[in-house]
Amino acid sequence: MKGATLPSPERSWLRGLADALQLGALATGGALLAAMLVAFGLWELSLGRVADARIPGDPDRVVATARLAVTHMVCVAYLMAAFVYALRAGEQTLVRVGPLLDSGPQVEAALDASGDRSALRIAAAVGVGAWLVSSFVGPGNVSFDPREWTAEIAWHRVLGAAIGVLGFRLGTLLVRQSARLSRLAAEIREIDLLELEPLAPFARQGLTNALLLLGCAASYSLFLVDLAYLVVAIPLWVGTAAIAAVGLLLPLKGTRDRIRRAKRSELDWCRARLREARQTLGDGTAGSTGLDELVAWERRIEEVPEWPLDASARARFALYLLIPLGSWSAAALVERGIDSLLT
Of the pLDDT bands very low, low, confident and very high (cuts 50, 70, 90), residue 325 is confident
Residue 4 in any domain: the answer is no
Residue 6 in any domain: the answer is no
Distance of CA 268 to the CA centre of its chain: 38
Sign of CA dihedral 224, 228, 231, 232: negative
**The pLDDT value given to residue 294:** 87
Contacts of 42 (CB under 8 A, 6+ apart): none
**The pLDDT value given to residue 33:** 93
Residue 1 in any domain: the answer is no
Q: Is the model more confident about 77 or about 226?
A: 77
Residue 270, number of CB atoms within 10 A of its CB: 19
Residue 45 in any domain: the answer is yes
Residue 233 in any domain: the answer is yes
* Domains identified in the chain, total number: 1
Average pLDDT over residues 251-257: 91
**pLDDT tens digit string along 284-311?**
554 555 788 888 999 999 999 999 888 8
CA distances 68 to 86, 261, 327, Å, are 27, 52, 15
Helices marked H in the chain: 13-21, 25-46, 49-52, 59-97, 105-110, 116-137, 151-185, 200-221, 230-249, 253-283, 291-302, 311-320, 323-342
**pLDDT tens digit string along 48-93?**
765 555 444 444 566 777 888 888 999 999 999 999 999 999 989 9
As a whole number of angstroms, the distance between CA 183 and CA 111 comes to 8
* Domain carrying residue 81: 13-342
Q: Helix or strand or coil: residue 188?
A: strand
Residue 3 in any domain: the answer is no
